Structure 1
Amino acid sequence: MKLPAKLVERIAGSIADELLKKHIVEADDEKKFREDIYNIISQAIEEEKQLEEEAERLVQEHMEILESEEIRYRTAVMKVKEKLAEERNIHLEPEERLNQIAHRIKRYLETEPSVEIFEEPNKIRRMVHERLKEIVKQEKEIDKEVRSRIKSYSRKILEGTPEWKILYSRIYEDALRRRGLL
Structure 2
Amino acid sequence: MAKQNKFLKLLADRVANNLLENEYVIADNPEDFKKKIYEILYNDYIAEKELEEEAEKIIQENAEEVTYRGVSIHKARKLIKERLAKEKGISVVGSIFSREKANYLAGKILRLILTDEELDYTQERGVIRSIIVKSFEEVAKLRKEIDKNVREKIASHSRPIYEGTPEWYALYRRYYNEELIERGLIDAESEV
Question: Does structure 1 residue 57 correspond to structure 2 residue 57?
Answer: yes
- Tell me what 1:102 maps to: 106
Q: How does 1:84-99 map onto structure 2 within 5 Å?
A: 84-87=84-87, 88-92=89-93, 94-99=98-103
How far has the Cα of 1:66 moved from its partner? 2.3
Q: RMSD in angstroms over aligned alpha carbons?
A: 3.1
2:119 is aligned, of 108, 115, 121, to 115
Aligned-residue offset at 1:23: 1.1
Q: TM-score, normalized by length of structure 1?
A: 0.75
Amino acid at match of 1:104: K
Change in Cα spacing, 1:83 to 1:102, as seen in structure 2 (3 Å) is same
Displacement, 1:173?
A: 3.6
- In 2, the alpha carbon distance for the partners of 1:100 and 1:18 equals 18
Q: Report how far residue 172 of structure 1 moved.
A: 6.0
Matching residue of 1:71: 71
Aligned length: 165
**Residues 16 and 58 from structure 1, CA distance in 2 versus in 1: closer, same or farther, beyond 3 angstroms?**
same
Q: Which has the larger radius of gyration?
A: 2
SS in structure 1 at match of 2:26: strand
SS of match in other structure, 1:26:
strand
Contact 2:113 2:120 in 1 (8 A): yes
| Structure-2 change in CA distance of 1:32 and 1:53 (3 Å) | same
Q: TM-score, normalised by structure 2?
A: 0.71
Pair 1:26 & 2:30 matched: no
Deviations along 1:107-140, whole A, 9 cap, x unmatched? 0000000111111122111110121123335556
Which of 106-115 and 116-125 deviates more? 116-125
In structure 2, what residue type is equivalent to 1:108?
Answer: L
Q: Write the deviation string for residues 75-134 of structure 1: whole angstroms up to 9, x where unpaired.
A: 211110121223323313621111010000000000000111111122111110121123
Query: Following the alignment from structure 2 to structure 1, what is the Cα–Cα distance between the partners of residues 68 and 144?
Result: 32
Alignment identity in percent?
27
Consecutive unaligned residues of structure 2, counting only runs of 5 or more, are 155-160, 187-192
